[in-house]
Amino acid sequence: QVQLVESGGGLVQAGGSLRLSCAASGRTFSSYTVGWFRQAPGKERAFVAAISWSGENTYYGDSVKGRFTISRDNAQNTVYLQMNSLKPEDTAVYYCAARPARTWTIAIVTPQNNYAYWGQGTQVTVSS
């Protein structure tokens, strides 16, 4: 069992930056693939980024490529999402999720249904 807690959300002006953190409990977290998803008002939850258990592999949704960076510190049981050049359309509740498997393919790490554990979410609001 893994518990995930997101932090770092807030209000920022367009063009600004935020760093989200996803802190996990559990000794085996370092073996988990972790993803970030977001849900804007009135929209379905969407994939943002994912990182493999070792950190060697990462993948990003098209809308955030080149602006967001996902990373992890397994010694601290924490995954980060550095968000730069934020836009108003990035406004959403951001969730981290973990799946207890090392398998890495884009078809597996992008669907939210493949993740077993979810955090409560953190609000990111980007003003224009």
| Average pLDDT score over the chain | 96
Residues 6+ apart with CB under 8 A from 44: none
pLDDT at 66: 98
> Is 64 strand, coil or helix?
coil
Look at residues 23, 29, 26 and name the one whose alpha carbon lies nearest to residue 5. 23
> Is 2 strand, coil or helix?
coil
d(CA 21, CA 35): 12
Mean pLDDT of the region 11-15: 98
pLDDT at 98: 97
pLDDT at 1: 81
Tell me the pLDDT tens digit for each residue of 17-73.
999 999 999 778 889 999 999 999 999 999 999 999 999 999 999 999 999 999 999
d(CA 89, CA 41): 11
